Amino acid sequence: MNQADSGIITALLEKEGYQQASSEEEAGIIMLNTCAVRENAVERIAHYLQHVKGFKRRCPELLVGLTGCIPQYRREELFTDFPVIDFLAGPDTYRVLPALIAEAGEAGRAARLDFNPFETYDGVTQARTQSLTAFVPIMRGCNNMCAFCVVPFTRGRERSHPFGSVLDEVRALAEGGCREITLLGQNVNSYHDPQSGADFSRLLDAVSREAPETRIRFTTSHPKDMSHSLVDTMASRPNICNHLHLPVQSGSTRMLVRMNRGHDIEDYRNKIEHLRERIPGISLSTDLIAGFCGESDADHCQTLELMREVRFDSAFMFYYSVRPGTLAARTMPDDVPEEVKKQRLQEIIDLQNGISAELLCRELGSVVEVLVESESRRSSDQLMGRTGGNRVVVFDRGIYQPGDMVRVMITGSTSATLIGRAAENLH
Are 307 and 314 spatial neighbours (Cβ–Cβ below 8 Å)? no
Least Å distance, CB 210 to ligand SF4, is: 27
Total H helices, total E strands in the chain: 14, 17
Q: Which residues of 165-194 are buried (b: 16+ CB within 10 A; e: fewer)?
A: bbbebbeebbeeebbbbbbbbbbbbbbebe
Q: Beta 87-89 vs 110-112: how paired, if at all?
A: parallel
CB nearer to ligand SAM: give 224 or 397: 224
Which residues on adjacent β-strands are paired with residue 183?
A: 136, 218
Within 140-179, the residues that bind ligand SAM by CB under 6 A are: 148-149, 151
Among 264, 287, 375, 404, binds ligand SAM (CB under 6 A): 287
186 binds ligand SAM per the rule CB under 6 A: yes
Residue 384 host element (H or E) = strand 382-386
Instruction: Give the shortest CB-222-to-ligand SAM separation in angstroms.
Output: 5
Tell which positions 222-251 bind ligand SF4, by CB under 6 A.
Answer: 222
Query: 101 vs 348, which CB is nearer to ligand SAM?
Result: 348
Say whether residue 2 binds ligand SF4 (CB under 6 A): no
Q: Cβ contacts of residue 238 below 8 Å, gap of 6+?
A: none
Q: Which stretch binds ligand SAM (CB under 6 A): 3-11, 169-177, 316-324, 389-397?
A: 316-324
- Cα gap 122→131, rounded to integer Å: 20
Angle at 15 between CA 13 and CA 19, to 5 degrees: 55
User: Using CB under 6 A, which residues numbered 135 to 164 contact ligand SF4?
Assistant: 142, 144-146, 149, 151-152
* 387 contact choice in ligand SF4, ligand SAM, none (CB below 5 to 8 Å, kind-dependent): none
Contact 272, 310 (CB under 8 A): yes
Query: Going along 11-82, which residue ranges are E strands?
Result: 29-34, 63-68
Distance between CA atoms of 152 and 183, rounded to whole angstroms? 19
Q: Is 315 in the site for ligand SF4 (CB under 6 A)?
A: no
CB distance 420 to 368 below 8 Å: yes
Q: 38: how many CB neighbours lie within 10 A of its CB?
A: 17
Q: Which is nearer to ligand SAM, 7 or 223 (CB)?
A: 223
Among 187, 250, 356, 376, binds ligand SAM (CB under 6 A): 187
- φ, ψ (nearest 5 deg) of residue 367: -115, 125
Output 32 or 246, the one with its CB closest to ligand SAM. Answer: 246
d(C-alpha 260, C-alpha 124), whole Å = 35
Residue 394 near residue 382, CB atoms below 8 Å: yes
38 binds, among ligand SAM, ligand SF4, none (CB under 5 to 8 A by kind): ligand SAM
Task: Give the residue with the Cβ less far from ligand SAM, 126 or 285.
Answer: 285
Kindly state the smallest distance separating residue 175's Cβ from ligand SF4, in Å: 32
Q: Looking at 27, 38, 96, 224, which residue binds ligand SAM (CB under 6 A)? A: 38
**Contact partner at residue 318 from ligand SAM, ligand SF4, none, CB < 5 to 8 Å by partner kind:** ligand SAM
Show the binding pattern over residues 235-254: x = contacts ligand SAM (CB under 6 A), - = does not: ------------x-x-----
Select the binding partner of residue 152 from ligand SAM, ligand SF4, none (C-beta < 5 to 8 A, by kind). Answer: ligand SF4
| Partner from ligand SAM, ligand SF4, none contacting 321, C-beta within 5 to 8 A by type | ligand SAM
Nearer to ligand SAM, 187 or 252 (CB): 187
- Cα–Cα distance measured from residue 233 to residue 204, given in angstroms and rounded to the nearest whole number: 7
Contacts with ligand SF4 by CB under 6 A lie at 142, 144-146, 149, 151-152, 186-187, 222
Residues contributing to the site for ligand SAM (CB under 6 A)? 37-38, 148-149, 151, 186-187, 220, 222, 247, 249, 287, 289, 318, 320-321, 323
